[in-house]
Amino acid sequence: MSVMGRVALVTGGAQGIGRAVVEALLRSGAKVSVVDINQSCGDVCKSELDAEFGGDNCAFIQCDVTDGHALRDAFQKTVELFGRLDIVINNAGINNEKNWEKTIDVNLTSLIKGTYLGLEHMSREHGKRGGTIVNVSSMAAFLHSPHQPVYTATKHGVIGFTRAMADASILGNYGVRINALCPAFVDTPLLQSVEDEDNMGKFIKFKEDFKRSMDKFGVLQPSLIAEGMMTLITDPSLNGAVMKITCSKGIHFHTYEPMST
């Protein structure tokens, strides 16, 4: 599937992995709505993207994804601005073991809401033409991190939810492909949270162990994550797929036993 002329909404798109994905989409001819809580970062992002890709191709919508009404408005505004919606990237995420309820809210609850809103705007069930959703999980869903138990739980949850919804999409003939992306460590501002007791809480005492884990597995560049993301967005054969991206194996897929009947 070509993304030329398609419309995408990317949560957490103002920096890091989300920003790299936004750039990849714009480079391929999509129009993109960047949905992010950070107004100043979003303003900078918007002006830089306008300079590179032209002013009519991208919008910044300031929105806290945990605010259900604001998230609904962000989807609606995207459709009003660009006339349609084809691609939803639920990427916004945080690492906060101190305020772990917020981590569940941002990383899992809001991602579920984003998926349901995406279906409202794209599913044949709602009289729409179909589309694709990618939910951002993490390698922490496979190699659980003792430094981030709740973060790890949310990323497991993202995979379970995504695979179940992908099957629901087939059963319900939604016409929407739903996949998950699991990067290992990526060089973004999120990694700085390992230094901060406000984020790590009582697990800050494991921070050196955490850093050893990063040294062991290496740190990826956001551009490689965007490359994997573009495959999930454009390959029509992928639904319920779980893509892993690691330094050792690059872009590859997790394999599951077939479900028993």
Ligand X SMILES: NC(=O)C1=CN([C@@H]2O[C@H](COP(=O)(O)OP(=O)(O)OC[C@H]3O[C@@H](n4cnc5c(N)ncnc54)[C@H](O)[C@@H]3O)[C@@H](O)[C@H]2O)C=CC1
Q: Which does 248 bind (CB under 5 to 8 A by kind): ligand X, ligand L6NKASHT, none?
A: ligand L6NKASHT
Q: Over the range 234-255, which residues count as b (16 or more CB within 10 Å of their CB) and which as e?
A: eeeebbbbbbbbbeeeebeeee
Cα–Cα distance, 13 to 26 (Å, whole number): 12
Q: Candidates 3-11, 14-22, 72-80, 240-248 — which segment interacts with ligand L6NKASHT by CB under 6 A?
A: 240-248
Indicate which residue of 116, 151, 174, 256 is catalytic.
151
Cα–Cα distance, 18 to 42 (Å, whole number): 11
Of 29 and 218, the one with the shorter C-beta distance to ligand L6NKASHT is: 218
- Least CB distance from residue 22 to ligand L6NKASHT, whole Å? 19
Q: How many angstroms separate the first and last alpha carbons of the chain? A: 32
Contact 182, 141 (CB under 8 A): yes
Nearest to 39 by CA among 70, 11, 14: 14
Q: Which does 194 bind (CB under 5 to 8 A by kind): ligand X, ligand L6NKASHT, none?
A: ligand L6NKASHT
Q: Are strands 250-253 and 242-246 parallel, antiparallel or unpaired?
A: antiparallel
Of 42 and 240, the one with the shorter C-beta distance to ligand X is: 42
Nearest to 9 by CA among 163, 246, 233: 233
Q: Which residues bind ligand X (CB under 6 A)?
A: 11-12, 14-18, 36-38, 41, 63-66, 91-94, 106, 136, 138, 183, 185-186, 188-191
Cα–Cα distance, 198 to 102 (Å, whole number): 13
Residue 77 CB neighbour total at 10 angstroms: 16
Selected binder of ligand L6NKASHT within 145, 154, 169, 179 (CB under 6 A): 145
Cα–Cα distance, 203 to 98 (Å, whole number): 9
Q: Which does 241 bind (CB under 5 to 8 A by kind): ligand X, ligand L6NKASHT, none?
A: none
Told to check if 3 binds ligand L6NKASHT by CB under 6 A, we report: no
For residue 43, the number of C-alpha atoms closer than 13 Å in the C-beta half-sphere is 2
- Least CB distance from residue 20 to ligand L6NKASHT, whole Å? 15
Binding mask 184-213 for ligand L6NKASHT (x = CB under 6 A): xx----xx-xx-------------------
Q: Is 151 one of the catalytic residues?
A: yes
Binding site for ligand L6NKASHT (CB under 6 A): 95, 138-140, 143, 145, 148, 151, 184-185, 190-191, 193-194, 217, 244, 246-249
State the catalytic residues: 151
